[in-house]
Structure 1
């Protein structure tokens, strides 16, 4: 069990690093490519949209292939995309390369979750899937800060070359460590696609989009915010980004416990706390200490809802676990893309950085509203079911 899960975790580490490292290199990339900070920020949106589009399409296109083959093909696409990033001659080619690298992201985690669950020991399926996703968490703690330091020292292209090496190592680990699982029956696409007509599934995906959209409206531009607005030294940025990874780790662990406690109330608390935090952060982010502390709190409060949102997505689409897992990744990255786009648009129009905090609070509040609607619909359906059961019992007793 350990070798396949380690291979999946290494792959997740490489994917997580390339997804978020651009945020740490935004000023350098903007300067080198001759574009504005908001335009460079759109590289985050480009990657996220690649995940949104590529995840469901590749999941359906590869549904009947062996899972190991799928993982190897997807990691090969990921390596190719990052190689093109390192070689990109200009901003436009870099955007295309980012989208190519992103295509494999969502479907990789969908297929990886299936494999992790299959190779897990009895009763350890959830823990095995969580172990794979620790690669993403470790990427935020180690990969993104290390990539930021490397890019500052040797140029941003060096960071993408390092990701290429990581991707090749992950590819070799998958080839050696993941067994060929011949007893996995392919998903029935018709049944899986039908879940998209369920209102609760759409609400769950919307909760993920808006629940994370606010985070990336601010965090996409965290480096220029720290250096240009809060007065932090550029050489300290890598160290501060470690705080985000630590906060995200603590938030994810705490969120898992809260989701096991009471899923929907926990999500409401998490999103309400996040919306309030962004308003407070907007008021104080000009202080260096507040800005640095805010980086940790964005990770902590921003990711505390992550396990619950993932659980809600799978719970709402229990008949289609592969598609639900993939679509939740797409929803997360749609929030990523939308948040980054909103932040870039505001900055391009001359807005100050605190405006990003206010926008993030509003976006998160929409996610909170969708959560309330979903909870009310669930309660209504439960009461209707109880009423029907009661009516049936009365009819039976009269007979």
Structure 2
């Protein structure tokens, strides 16, 4: 069941679905003050709405995929998109914090399973020789959400109220649910139990190496990115222009994915090594360029440019390492990726306790070098010299 061309309605719907999922995840970040004031809680309590979401993803991705492995993929995808719609409606209408938290937990549960289904679909619909490009196309929606999700939701919240940000996300989700019911091809569930799939996948050494690499590199990435605002302020930025720097970073990420996505099929290993090397240099640059905001901005843009395609690279590496059960591999990768995000936030927070913000850049650089070694030594398992077709 393969589309002849990459840019077909099913693949485009999966990409827009990725945008919705990631946008839903980050929506509260730009709305912290507005939501806190309206719901009568602290900004840190609203921040927990993001943490709770991520925690659900980490712990629920693998079990939810195992429990639903026999369910046909199309109705499952339609239901998950509808679930995003309902969860965002709950946030839109919430009058107290407990209701808002319930909505976020529901959204996190949808996210935990969503990308397993989405990347499983994408792997089956990928045209011959375009497997990596298919992974990159779905990841494009994620990249756009990270780049514009927070600035757009912040603007919308300030203009018409924070509830409309969640209301718009709900409308998009429900429209996508209807669209999925119409355009997605039918794919049956697996006859192999979810537990058996997981054991087979984790028994593959190539996948285990990819898991280690992803955890380390995402820990490095999000150690610095989570605390990029205080790092930029220390480098000479003002509260008024930090947003511009973040937007430039996000835009560079989209551009990097657009330029480098071709390498997912032709040269994944060297492209990933180059990205990790440049990220290492960039992290060191951010740490060393305090007081030079112009140069720091240039380094941040370079970082965004080379990090942009990395999620597509590692998604392709994971899915290529073990192709027998793509939904299960996608669930493992989803959980692994979010473990790295959580670990990165923890590393960054601990570094702030013992050093000034620039110290995070040194820690991130050291971790990225470790990830580079894991990838470089994986020529036989996980990151082969010749990209699998």
Query: Structure 1-normalised TM-score?
Result: 0.79
1:321 corresponds to 2:350:
no
Do the aligned partners of residues 45 and 328 (structure 1) sit closer, same or farther apart at CA in structure 2, a change above 3 Å counting?
same
Quote the Cα distance in structure 2 between the aligned partners of 1:261 and 1:351. 42
SS at match of 1:82: helix
**Deviation readout 1:349-397 (Å, 9 max, x if unpaired):** 3743212222322332332233244347789xxxxxxxxxxxxxxxxxx
Go from structure 1 to structure 2 and tell me whether the alpha carbon gap of 1:369 and 1:119 turns closer, same or farther (over 3 Å shift). closer
1:339 to 328, 338, 344: 344
Structure that is richer in helix per residue: 1
**Which deviates further from its counterpart, 212-221 or 301-310?**
301-310
d(CA) in 2 for partners of 1:120 and 1:262?
18
* Residue aligning to 2:386: none
Which of 267, 272, 275 in structure 1 is aligned with 2:272? 267
Taking the aligned partners of 1:378 and 1:133, their CA distance within structure 2 comes to 20
Q: Distance in 1 between matches of 2:141 and 2:381?
A: 35
- Secondary structure at the residue paired with 2:358? helix
In structure 1, distance between residues paired with 2:34 and 2:153 = 13
Cα distance, 1:351–1:83 mapped onto 2, change above 3 Å: farther
What is residue 387 of structure 2 aligned with on the other side?
none
Q: Which has the larger displacement, 53-62 or 1-10?
A: 1-10
**How far apart are the structure 2 equivalents of 1:260 and 1:122?**
11
Question: CA 1:8–1:312 in structure 2 vs 1: closer, same or farther (change >3 Å)?
Answer: closer
Cα distance in 1 for residues equivalent to 2:364 and 2:236: 18
The match for 2:247 is: 242
Is the CA contact 1:44–1:340 (under 8 Å) kept in the aligned structure 2?
Answer: no
Per-residue CA distance 1:149-176 (angstroms, 9 max, x = gap)? 2234455444333322222222222223
Deviations 1:191-245 (A, max 9, x none): 44322133332221121112122222222233455468643343x5554433223
Change (3 A) 1:209 1:30: farther
Aligned to 1:196: 202
Contact 1:259 1:308 in 2 (8 A): yes
> 2:359 is matched with which residue: 335, 355, 360?
355
Q: 1:48 aligns with which of 54, 59, 62?
A: 54
Determine the C-alpha separation between the residues in 1 that align with 2:90 and 2:234: 30
Once the two structures are overlaid, the 10-residue window that deviates more, 93-102 or 299-308, is 93-102
Q: Could you say which residue in structure 2 is the equivalent of 1:397?
A: none
Counterpart selection for 2:372 from 365, 368, 371: 368
1:222 to 203, 228, 231: 228
- Equivalence for 1:308: 313
Asked whether the equivalents of residues 123 and 326 of structure 2 are also in contact (C-alpha less than 8 Å), the reply is no
For the pair 1:132 / 2:138, whether they are aligned, the reply is yes
The verdict on how the C-alpha distance between 1:27 and 1:282 changes in structure 2, with shifts beyond 3 A counting, is farther
Of residues 267, 278, 291 in structure 1, which corresponds to 2:283?
278
Q: Secondary structure at the match of 2:378?
A: helix
**Structure 1 equivalent of residue 294 of structure 2:** 289
1:208 paired with 2:214, answer yes
Check whether the contact 1:74–1:108 (CA below 8 A) recurs between aligned residues.
Answer: yes
Q: TM-score if structure 2 supplies the norm length?
A: 0.81
The match for 1:81 among 76, 87, 97 is 87
For the residue of structure 2 that corresponds to 1:250, the secondary structure is helix
**1:146–1:238 CA contact under 8 A, matched in 2:** no
Q: Distance between the aligned counterparts of 1:224 and 1:86, measured in 2?
A: 30
Which residue number in structure 1 is paired with residue 181 of structure 2?
Answer: 175
Give the counterpart of 1:10 among 6, 16, 31: 16
Q: Secondary structure at the match of 2:320?
A: helix
Q: 1:163 to 1:185 in 2, by over 3 A?
A: same
Partners of 1:350 and 1:40 lie apart in 2 by: 26
| Residues matched between the structures, number | 376
Contact 1:255 1:307 in 2 (8 A): no
